[in-house]
Amino acid sequence: MLKDVIEVRPLDGHRLWLRFDDGLQGEIDLRPHLEFSGVFAPLKDAQYFARVAVHPEFKVVTWPNGADLDSDVLYSLVAGTPISVNEPAAR
């Protein structure tokens, strides 16, 4: 799939609005998909969660502590389609 996130906005309740390089955009609620432990523990705090950004080089959703989320997984959740295991892993 290899989709890049080009824009992200935090929403209430651990939700994100995302826009991808092919124009797909939509919202996702991360609560059912993310354990708030380890590197993701700070994301429990709404103010910290709101510090989300797009990594300028890797085009993934990231936070100041280095926590990041796979763009292809986010794309599949926004699009409502499963990830194909037959796609190449490297660009």
The burial class, CB within 10 Å (0-12 / 13-18 / 19+), for 6 is: middle
What does the pLDDT look like over 10-24, one tens digit per residue?
A: 999 999 999 999 999
Q: Is the pLDDT of residue 79 over 90?
A: yes
Check residue 1 and give its pLDDT: 58
Mean of pLDDT over the chain: 92
- Provide the token pair at 7: 């824009």
DSSP string, 41-88: GGGGSHHHHTT-EE-TTT--EE-TTS-EE-HHHHHHHHHT-PPPTTS-
Check residue 87 and give its pLDDT: 55
- How many Cβ atoms sit within 10 Å of the Cβ of residue 75? 23
Is residue 4 a contact partner of residue 21, using CB atoms and an 8 Å limit?
A: yes
> Which of 70, 85, 78, 68 shows the shortest CA–CA distance to 23?
78
